[in-house]
C-alpha cells in the first residue's frame, strides 16, 4: 500500500463521518471539502469504489433529495461555504443523481449575489466587508470555474480569472514576491495597514490556499482560456518560498520569520506547497528536471517533521495550526504574536486533507 492509500485508510478508520469529528458538531464546513478532494484524487487514480463511497457518505448527510444543503444558508455570503460544494461535480458525474446538480446550483446562486470589492472580487464574508483573503480564492474560484465548465451554456471564465488578477495585484509583496494574508479595500480594519490596507505578515497556510487555488483553476481552464497569470502566480510564489524553507524542506507558520522566537514548522502550509509543486510538475508548468529534487526533499520533510504512525498503523499528522484569521468577534490583530498563539493540533482536517492531496500528486509524479 502506498502512502496516500495508507493515509486514506487512517482517515476512514479514525473519522468515518467527517462531520462527527471533534469540534464540527455536524456543521456544513469547508474542511470536509479539503479532505474529500483528496479522496476524489484517489478515486480517479485507483477506481477503488470505497473512496467514492466515502465521499458520497459524507456529502449525503448534507445534500437532500431536492438539492438543499443541510446547515447551509447561501445568503450568509460566506465564501468558505462554497468549498465542499466542489464534490458535487464528481458525484453528479459518477451517479447521475440530479440532487448534486441542484446543490451545485445552490452554491452558484450564492456567487451570483455575493458582495464584491469595487474591482469585482468576492468579499471573504459578508461579516468581513471589503476584504480579500488569500484563503477565499481556494474556497470559491475552482468551484466557480468548474460550475461554468460543467453546466451553463455560456462559458464566461473571465470573472474567475479576474478574482486572481485583482487579488494578486493587491496582495503581492514586491520585496519578497510572496503574498500577504489579506487586504482591506477601505483600510479601516484594525489589522490593516493604514496606507496600504494590507495585513502585516505572511501566513504559510494562506499562501498555500492561494497556490492550490491557482493550480486547481489552471488545471480546469488552461485549455479553455489564457491562463498565463495562474502560471505566473505558481512559479513566482514557489520560487519565492525556497529561501524560507527549513533544512528539512518544510516551512514555518509565519513564513519569513524563520529565526524568530515562537515560530514553528507547520504541517498544513508545508503540505499545500508540496501539492502545488507536484501538480505544477504534472501539468507541465514546472520543469520536472529542475523541480523534482526540491519536491522530493519537501515530500520527505513532511514525513520527517510531521508524521507519526500509531500502533494501529494509522498515520498522524502533527503540528497543524488549528485556525487563523483576522478581525471578527475575537478582534484578531494579525500580529506575529497572534499567528503563533493559535492552537497547534494533530490531524486537523485542513492539514490532513492537504497532505492527502499532496501525497496523491507526488505519487503521480514519481510513477
For residue range 254-291, list pLDDT tens digits in order: 999 999 999 999 999 999 999 999 999 999 999 999 99
Mean model confidence pLDDT for the chain:
97
CA distance 338 to 326: 9
C-alpha distances out from residue 48 to 4, 293, 353, Å: 13, 31, 18
Q: Which element (helix H / strand E) includes 44?
A: helix 30-46
Angle formed by the axes of helices 228-241 and 158-171, nearest 10°: 30
**From the CA atom positions of the chain, what is the Rg in Å?**
19
The rounded distance, in Å, linking the Cα atoms of 201 and 188 is 17
Assess whether pLDDT exceeds 80 at residue 1: no
DSSP code, position 21: S
Residue 367 has pLDDT above 80, yes or no: no
Confirm if 157 and 192 have CB atoms less than 8 A apart: no
pLDDT at 210: 98
pLDDT tens-place string over residues 286-337: 999 999 999 999 999 999 999 999 999 999 999 999 999 999 988 999 999 9
Going by the DSSP 8-state scheme, the letter that residue 253 receives in this structure is: S
Q: 142 vs 89, 145, 317, 329, CA distance in Å?
A: 11, 5, 26, 29
At residue 276, what are phi and psi to the nearest 5 degrees?
Answer: -65, -40
Please tell me the distance from the alpha carbon of residue 316 to that of residue 295, in angstroms, as a whole number: 21
Residue 154's pLDDT band, with cuts at 50, 70 and 90, is confident
- Above 90 in pLDDT, residue 153? no
**Helices within 192-241 (DSSP H only):** 204-221, 228-241
pLDDT in tens, 59-107: 999 999 999 999 999 999 999 999 999 999 999 999 999 999 999 999 9
Check: CB of residue 288 under 8 Å from CB of residue 281: yes
Report the distance separating Cα 22 and Cα 186, nearest Å: 37
User: Is the pTM for the entire model greater than 0.95?
Assistant: yes
Q: How confident is the model at residue 127 (pLDDT cuts 50, 70, 90)?
A: very high
Q: How far is CA 283 from CA 116, 364, 365, in A?
A: 31, 11, 10
Give the model's pLDDT for residue 354: 98
> Span 121-138, mean pLDDT?
98
321-to-15, 227, 309, 349, 352 alpha-carbon distances in Å: 19, 32, 20, 11, 12
- 181 grid coordinates: 494574508
> What pLDDT is recorded for position 330?
87
Mean pLDDT for the stretch of residues 45-67: 97
In this predicted model, which residue has the larger pLDDT, 367 or 25?
25
Query: Helix, strand or coil for residue 116?
Result: strand
Q: Write the DSSP assignment of 312-367 as a string of letters.
A: TS-EEE--EE----SBTTTTB---HHHHHHS-EESS-HHHHHHHHHHHHHHHHHH-
The rounded distance, in Å, linking the Cα atoms of 268 and 337 is 19
Question: Which residues does the annotation mark as catalytic?
Answer: 135
Question: How many percent of the chain have pLDDT more than 90?
Answer: 97
pLDDT (average), residues 10-31? 97
Average pLDDT over residues 215-232: 97
Amino acid at each position: 500500500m502506498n502512502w496516500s492509500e495508507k493515509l486514506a485508510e487512517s482517515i476512514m478508520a479514525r473519522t468515518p463521518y467527517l462531520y462527527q469529528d471533534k469540534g464540527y458538531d455536524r456543521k456544513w464546513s469547508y474542511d470536509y471539502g479539503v479532505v474529500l478532494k483528496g479522496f476524489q484524487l484517489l478515486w480517479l487514480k485507483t477506481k477503488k469504489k470505497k473512496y467514492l463511497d466515502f465521499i458520497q457518505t459524507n456529502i449525503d448527510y448534507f445534500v437532500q433529495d431536492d438539492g438543499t444543503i443541510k446547515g447551509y444558508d447561501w445568503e450568509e455570503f460566506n465564501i468558505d461555504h462554497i468549498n465542499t460544494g466542489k464534490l458535487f461535480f464528481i458525484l453528479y458525474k459518477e451517479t447521475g443523481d440530479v440532487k448534486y446538480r441542484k446543490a451545485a446550483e445552490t452554491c452558484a446562486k450564492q456567487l451570483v449575489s455575493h458582495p464584491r470589492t469595487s474591482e469585482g472580487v468576492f468579499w471573504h464574508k459578508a461579516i468581513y466587508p471589503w476584504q480579500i483573503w488569500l484563503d477565499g480564492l481556494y474556497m470559491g474560484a475552482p468551484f466557480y470555474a468548474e460550475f461554468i465548465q460543467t453546466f451553463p451554456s455560456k462559458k464566461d471564465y473571465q470573472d474567475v480569472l479576474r478574482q486572481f488578477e485583482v487579488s494578486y495585484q493587491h496582495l503581492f509583496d514586491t520585496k519578497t514576491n510572496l503574498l500577504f494574508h489579506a487586504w482591506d479595500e477601505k483600510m479601516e480594519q484594525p489589522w490593516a495597514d493604514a496606507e496600504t490596507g494590507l495585513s502585516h505578515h505572511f501566513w504559510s497556510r494562506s499562501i498555500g490556499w492561494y497556490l492550490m487555488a491557482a493550480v486547481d483553476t489552471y488545471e480546469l481552464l488552461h485549455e479553455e482560456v489564457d491562463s498565463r497569470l495562474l502560471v505566473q502566480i505558481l512559479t513566482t510564489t514557489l520560487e519565492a518560498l525556497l529561501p524560507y524553507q527549513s533544512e528539512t524542506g518544510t516551512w514555518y507558520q509565519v513564513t519569513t520569520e524563520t529565526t524568530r522566537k515562537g515560530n514553528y514548522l507547520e504541517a498544513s502550509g508545508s503540505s499545500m506547497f508540496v501539492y502545488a509543486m507536484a501538480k505544477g510538475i504534472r501539468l507541465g508548468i514546472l520543469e520536472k528536471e529542475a523541480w523534482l529534487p526540491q519536491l522530493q526533499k519537501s515530500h520527505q520533510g513532511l514525513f520527517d517533521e510531521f508524521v507519526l504512525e500509531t500502533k494501529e498503523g494509522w498515520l498522524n499528522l502533527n503540528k497543524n495550526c488549528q485556525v487563523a484569521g483576522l478581525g471578527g468577534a475575537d478582534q484578531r490583530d494579525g500580529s506575529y504574536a497572534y499567528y503563533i498563539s493559535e492552537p497547534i493540533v494533530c490531524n486537523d482536517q485542513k492539514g490532513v486533507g492537504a497532505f492527502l492531496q499532496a501525497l496523491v500528486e507526488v505519487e503521480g509524479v514519481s510513477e
